[in-house]
């Protein structure tokens, strides 16, 4: 198999956090969960991965689909400025359980790592509902 790698420079995002149980994922402001999940996404379709916090990330595709993924282990420093995500996968997909490393952009050194979770599909809320 061929190893593919990717790196993305990260930015912040607003959150709407549930006060319910801790296993309920964070949902980005302006979205709602559809109840549909995927275990893998094709690398060529991933447009951006934005850490919402150290436990949940927003994944957008170039077809404008959006997913939230709850990472396991919490990626320390994922939301800090001047960090980026780095991952290397054995195929053409990013799948649940793949290890992602948070890298310091200035020192080009790891500052945290975690495994990506299931991709939970999001749909945008109507303009007047957000």
pLDDT at 88 over 60: yes
Q: Between the ranges 36-40, 69-73, 77-81, 124-128, where is the mean pLDDT highest?
A: 36-40
Which of 8 and 46 is assigned the larger pLDDT?
Answer: 46
For residue 46, name the pLDDT band (cuts at 50, 70, 90): very high
Which of 101 and 129 is assigned the larger pLDDT?
Answer: 101
Mean of per-residue pLDDT scores for the chain = 82
Query: What's the Cα-to-Cα distance from 51 to each of 64, 75, 130, rounded to whole Å?
Result: 17, 9, 20
User: Taking Cα atoms as reference points, which of 126, 125, 117, 107 lies closest to residue 52?
Assistant: 117
Q: Given phi > 0 = left and psi -120 to 50 = alpha, else beta, which region is 116?
A: beta
Instruction: Find the mean pLDDT for residues 54-77.
Output: 91
């Amino acid at each position: 198999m061929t190893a593919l790698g990717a790196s993305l420079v990260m930015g912040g995002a607003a959150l709407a956090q549930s006060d319910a149980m801790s296993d309920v994922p964070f949902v980005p402001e302006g979205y709602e969960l559809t109840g549909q999940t995927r275990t893998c996404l094709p690398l060529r379709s991933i447009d951006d991965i934005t850490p919402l916090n150290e436990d949940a990330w927003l994944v957008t595709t170039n077809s404008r689909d959006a997913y939230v993924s709850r990472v396991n282990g919490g990626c320390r420093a994922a939301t800090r400025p001047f960090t980026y995500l780095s991952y290397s996968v054995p195929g053409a997909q990013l799948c649940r359980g793949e290890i992602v490393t948070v890298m310091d952009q200035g020192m080009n050194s790891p500052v945290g790592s975690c495994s990506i979770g299931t991709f939970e599909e999001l749909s945008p809320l109507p303009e007047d509902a957000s």
